[in-house]
Structure formats: structure tokens, C-alpha cells
Amino acid sequence: MSIEEREASLVENFETFDDWADRYRYLIELGEELPALDEVYKTTENKVQGCQSQVWLIARRDGDKIIFEADSDSAITRGLIALLVKLFSGANASEIAAADLSFIERLGFAKHLSMSRANGFASMIQKIKRLASSI
């Protein structure tokens, strides 16, 4: 499945909820489904800089695909990184680099996330793209 197809699926899932309280609950559920990252990977090197909460992100290659694993110490932030892992994990580096991520605007994340969470979300995306281009 392409990143664009995954985006469409995520948008469809979020649009089933009319209000943002329900969307936040769904985001938290995504985070609860994210497998815990082994403590050995919770290092400064794997930490996403620019996040108010602690977020760790690692990547590995599986052929030409990149697999991401992540964790956070905050429920909503864990949901945000889980959403990005769902979106990007299994894509190749060129797909990740080319992703326009228009779903962020369509879902209204920019309007409904606090400034610090929005900055952290942007930092997560940047780290994903950096990792994808470097491994």
C-alpha cells in the first residue's frame, strides 16, 4: 500500500468522528496499539529533538523498505508517532521523501494541536525523513 493510500485510509478513519474529543480518543487508541520500544533503544541518539514529551524513533531496512519503531511517554504524542509509523513504515526512502502529508491539513491537526505538540509533530516527521534518507 502506498503512502497516499495509507493517508486516505487514515483520513477516512479520523473523519468518522465528528468532534475533536473523539479524534483525540482515537489518536490515543492508535498509541495504545503501538508496540513498546525496547528500553535499549531509548537513548539520546534515538530521541526526537523538539518534542515537549519524550519520543524515541528508530528505523531499519527490510530490503528496499524502511521499518520504523517508536515510543513516547505521553498518550497523545504516542498516538501521533503511532500514526506516523503506520503511515511511513514499509515505504521506501524515495516515497517517504516525496510524501506531501496533506492529510495533516485536511484533518485539522494544525488547528487542534497545541503549538508545542504541532512543533513536536513536525520534528517527528523531519526525523522520519532524515532517517529514511540515511539508512
* Residue 84 CB partners (closer than 8 Å, separation 6+): 68, 70, 124, 125, 128
Which residues are tagged catalytic? 51
Residue 92, SS3? strand
Ramachandran region of residue 108, left (φ > 0), alpha (ψ -120 to 50) or beta? left
Q: Give the separation between CA 75 and CA 33, rounded to whole angstroms.
A: 11
Query: Interior CA angle at 102 toward 75 and 23, to 5°?
Result: 35
